[in-house]
Structure 1
Amino acid sequence: MQAATPAAAVHRGRRRANGALEGEVLAALQRAGVPLTPREVQDTLPGELTYSTVVTILSRLHAKEVLTRTPRGRAYAYVPVTDEAGLAARGMHRILDARPDREAVLARFAGGLTAADAVLLRELLG
């Protein structure tokens, strides 16, 4: 078996990309509901991720401002800055902020909503 690396890790004979690993680590932290150290995160994840891989993933999520961290002993304990819905909303804001024509992006988004989602959005805005 190949050693796990930050670029990808082996999970039951398959390689996982960074995005999948970040998603698994984030989901583990959200399920825990309390700050976890890299070792605690590693213990909650299935498969054979190395400690250094978990530290790398946590560091990347922290750099992306998805996690906050506080010192705990010789390590940091990490916790998500918000829940899944909040993270999705932050991502949507980043996309809007990165585009020069917010109106066009919002118009395309609104135009692709289902009727039920459009009603819900009107209620939320109203």
Structure 2
Amino acid sequence: MTDEDRRARRRGQGELEAQVLAALRNAAGPVTAGWVRERIGGALAYTTVVTILSRLHAKESVSRERAGRSFVWTPADEAGLAALRMRKVLDGEPDRGAVLASFVTALSPDDERLLRALLDGAEDCAEGRASDRADAETGD
């Protein structure tokens, strides 16, 4: 397949976003859109790469930081992306309880223990914050 054939081939949905994310994950740190464009190759316009990065930013898949007149970009962490996808699925369903119950019953015993430990830790943190607020209000 020639380069021209590859360019003429229509990309699958999300293919460019996946390529951009892969390039960002291979970067040593924050990078410019121009750097991303060079790494993914092809005949993509700079503005196309910026558009893809902006869409990924809107999806919270990447973060950006001002660097002069433009931005440098970094990928979100994998765990954060997975959690974001899970929240979006949960938010899109009318019966959140049923979704969560289905999720929990499908967990392996090890994952269930881990989830219980995480929930217990979160509960302890919430109780500590509530206690701190009560102490502050009473002056203790």
**TM-score (norm. length: structure 1):** 0.72
Q: Which residue of 2 aligns with 1:89?
A: 83
Aligned pair partner of 2:70 in 68, 75, 80: 75
User: Which structure has more helix as a fraction of its residues?
Assistant: 2
Q: Does 1:110 align with 2:104?
A: yes
Q: What is the root-mean-square deviation of aligned Cα atoms in Å?
A: 2.5
Q: Which residue of 2 aligns with 1:5?
A: none
Q: How far off its partner does 1:85 sit?
A: 0.7
Q: Which runs of 5+ in 1 are unaligned?
A: 3-9
Percent identity of equivalent pairs: 51
User: Which structure has more strand as a fraction of its residues?
Assistant: 1
User: Once superposed, which parts of structure 1, at least 4 consecutive aligned residues long, lie more than 6 Å away?
Assistant: none
SS of residue paired to 1:78: strand
Corresponding letter in the other structure for 1:43: E
Distance 1:75 1:96 in 2: 35
Q: Which has the higher contact order (CA 8 A, sep 6+)?
A: 1
Distance 2:48 2:86 in 1: 28
Greater C-alpha Rg: 2
Corresponding letter in the other structure for 1:83: D
Number of residue equivalences = 116
Distance 2:106 2:119 in 1: 17
Q: Which residue of 1 aligns with 2:15?
A: 20
Q: Which residue of 1 aligns with 2:39?
A: 44
Q: 1:89 to 1:49 in 2, by over 3 A?
A: farther
SS of residue paired to 1:16: coil
Deviations 1:67-117 (A, max 9, x none): 23233344322223x311111112212222232211100011112222332
Distance 1:112 1:49 in 2: 45
Distance 1:121 1:115 in 2: 10
Distance 1:28 1:70 in 2: 17
Q: Which residue of 2 aligns with 1:7?
A: none
Q: Does 1:61 align with 2:22?
A: no
**TM-score (norm. length: structure 2):** 0.67
Q: Which runs of 5+ in 2 are unaligned?
A: 121-140
Q: Is the 8 A contact 1:30 1:83 kept in 2?
A: no
